[in-house]
Amino acid sequence: MRGLVLSLFVHVGIIAGGFIYLPRMSHVLESAPIVPVELVTLADTTNIRAARPDPEPVEDEVPEETIDDVIAEPVDAPAPEPDPVEAEPEIIDTEPETPAEPDPEPVDEDPEPEPEPVEADPAPPPERRRDPEPAEPSLDDILGDLSRSIAENRDPQTADDGARRNAVGNGEEMTATLQVMLRSHLARCWRASLDAPEPDELAVQLVLDLDRNGELTGPPRLTDQSRVLNSPNPYLRVAGERALRAAVQCQPYPLPPEAYSQWRQIEVNFSPSLYGG
């Protein structure tokens, strides 16, 4: 009887797990269509442009698109030109006049849709925290019962479970390999700010979302993007831009497709090391 109850629970549990797990799997696949919402802004112009032989038609709209404010350039922000044209006998009078209107288009970094909001779903952990309360059978007992029951039942699902454990083991070794591959791949695209005055203060962190082909599914994001790109330290701003540029330029990322779940999202710390080279 107890075996039956247990077996019931195991099955229910696995099915329940499936309910939690499978939607997430399908979500992963859907994450590609989600992100283009992001891309639309970019692709909108670039794709059309690429398809068209001549860019004439877009003429008027273009100046609006020149996005000075993404970088929040403090230097050329003073757009209004006080035109001190005359009475400058020899020195160039140059007015920093931004030809493009400062443009209200919102900076596009943050609204990045998180591909897996589902991770919030696995509610179970709280449950677990609650369970010690009616503590009369010890956890060991329960687990002992459980494993015995599982051993008795020997159904395909338990085999499945073993396979998964195995995969996790492989993954840990794989992680180190992936890191090495990524490191050398990114080093080729990244111009380190080693020649800046305090290179060790120029570390920036980037999050990349990749599809199975190793292409970015959306623009790379700097953790702390606005702090970096609006920093009063121009070297930090440039370090942020160099990291972003490297991430884009390094596409496609040549990583093993069978380990895709491990490199779907990558967090890169770019930190120039002064005496490294």
| Under 8 Å between Cβ of 198 and 274 | no
| Two tokens, residue 225 | 């993007």
Are 20 and 202 in contact by the 8 Å Cβ rule? The answer is no
Taking the least distance from each CB to another protein, the nearer of 37 and 273 is: 273
159 is a site residue for another protein (CB under 8 A): no
Determine if 213 is a binding residue for another protein (CB under 8 A): no
- Comparison of 151 and 168: residue with beta carbon closer to another protein: 168
Contact flags string 192-211 toward another protein, x per CB under 8 A: xxxxxx---------x----
Burial class of residue 108 (count of CB atoms within 10 Å of its CB; 0-12, 13-18, 19+):
middle
Indicate the residue among 95 and 155 with the shorter CB distance to another protein.
95
Q: Which residue in the set 35, 186, 222, 228 belongs to the binding site for another protein (CB under 8 A)?
A: 186
The answer to whether residues 222 and 205 touch, using CB atoms and an 8 Å cutoff, is: yes
CB of 235 vs another protein, minimal distance in Å: 4
What distance in Å separates the CA atoms of residue 191 and residue 62, rounded to the nearest whole number?
Answer: 30
Q: Is residue 230 involved in binding another protein (CB under 8 A)?
A: no
Among 40, 58, 77, 159, binds another protein (CB under 8 A): 58
55 belongs to the binding site for another protein (CB under 8 A)? yes
Query: Residue 77: which of 202, 233, 230 has the closest Cα?
Result: 230
253 binds another protein (CB under 8 A): no
